[in-house]
Amino acid sequence: MRHARRRVVRRVTQLAAVGGLLLGGAMVTQAAMASETSPASARPFSSAGTAGDTGAGLVARLGTARTAGSWIGGDGRPVVAVTDTEAARTVRRAGAEAKVVSHSMNELKSATTTLRSAPRVAGTAWSVDYRTNRVVVQADRTVSASDWSRMTQVASSIGSFVRMERANGTFTTRLNGAQPILSTGGRCSAGFNVTNGQQDFILTAGHCGPSGSTWFADNQGNQQLGNTVNSTFPGSDFSLVQYNSGKAGDGADVVAIGGGKGVRITGVADPAVGQRVFRSGSTSGLRDGQVTALNATVNYPEGTVTGLIETNVCAEPGDSGGPMFSEGVALGVTSGGSGDCKTGGTTFFQPVTKALAALNVRLIVSAQNAGAAQGASPSSAPSAAATQGAVAPSAASPGSSAPVTGSAQGETLLARLTDTRNVGPGLLVVAGSLIALVATRYFRAEQDRKAYQRHYSATWG
């Protein structure tokens, strides 16, 4: 029996600043945790009612003119929304539950296209609610009465199946998570480790910073982690941070969930509506909830992002960029949302599958799954639905456990700078940080990126 190798895992404390200067103000989740343990089996979450036919497969077979999405019922069986009785019979013969609805997916998508073509209003979001056969438009507290009235008129012109709702808090992106990576612009969360076969990278949120951003693994600025080499935001919300060493190291397939514990990542998939999912973050810890919608659109103050996963998993400032997963299967990285973990809220995630395909990289998974992953292209990632049976949402778990061990690092930047033995280096760090911050802010202002500092370090309200 192999003995697990132990590696020191640094837990970065709140980044302090001298003279009232605070860089960014975020805490993040790093999925690139190092540890090794005996291989453990992991069963991906299934959206399938039977081995041969899933809800998504039935939708693809019947077409969007006769269906309106699928979701996982409380018993784990797939439910498919259909528009005619013959389609309903086909669904039932496949072992799934059929729900006859009034509006097809084509009609629902046409409604979202009309909303997208209307003048953009920051603080709004919309998605298709498969279970109620409606398009739900949300507006946060920043949306004025006049804009609310105008959006309501647009919704009314589409039809009664478009519902308007006021959301608590504000829709903003988040810089933060479980194990932070830091730059002069603030902290952000690492999502998952990925590779192109030659170099390893951290997959995180695109709003964390533009290409060229430098990241550190410690709050003293001693351990340079890597640089952002590809970033997409708005439109989508993903980026790649290339490791300076070129490799993520041992245990790159483990994501931390707190308390010295981790979850081994075994594959990647697209989630299903109704699926139970988990998110890890340094601010709010490990949290769970359900997927409520797919292909959601959010109008952040910085721009519009489409194709997101909508969930009722709570999150708070400091959770952005962090991993979302279920049964060891990677699903998304945190983009933004509203609310908090006291009152609840909505959180949106960038789908991992779309990011991998766009970036031409693949997920680093556990050794037992590596054989299949090595030969797979980014777009042909293993599906969570490709399992032997269904799992009721209440029975789903984060995945197979993997220990994350190490000692905490207790010395903050402020403590280091006030140590008389480090006066010289400390002043250099302060001066360098000030120069870098001023230069960065000027550069972003010139490119209309003031929102990075103003909104990313803001609370969720």
Tokens of 103: 């509006």
Please indicate whether residue 207 is annotated as part of the active site: yes
CA 359 – CA 271 distance, rounded (Å)? 20
Does 237 participate in catalysis according to the annotation?
A: yes
> Per-residue DSSP letters for 68-86?
EEEEE-TTS-EEEEESSHH
* 103 in active site: no
List CB contacts of 12: < 8 A, sequence separation 6 or more.
179, 180, 182, 187, 217, 218, 219, 409
List the catalytic residue out of 320, 335, 338, 400.
320
How far is residue 259 CA from its own chain's centroid?
21
Catalytic residue from among 47, 129, 207, 284: 207
What does residue 8 show for φ and ψ, rounded to 5 degrees? -70, 130
Residue with tokens 């105008």: 150
The answer to whether the bond into 39 is cis (omega within 30° of 0) is no
Marked catalytic residue, from 218, 237, 253, 288: 237
Burial of 362 (0-12, 13-18, 19+ CB in 10 A): buried
Angle, CA 138 vertex, CA 132 and CA 141 arms, to 5°: 150
Strand partners, 129: 134
3-state secondary structure of 163: strand
Do 398 and 264 contact (CB within 8 A), yes or no?
no
Residues in contact with 29: Cβ distance below 8 Å, sequence separation at least 6, in sequence order: 176, 177, 178, 179, 189, 190, 191, 255, 256, 280, 281, 282, 319, 321, 322, 323, 334
Q: Which positions are annotated as active-site residues?
A: 207, 237, 320
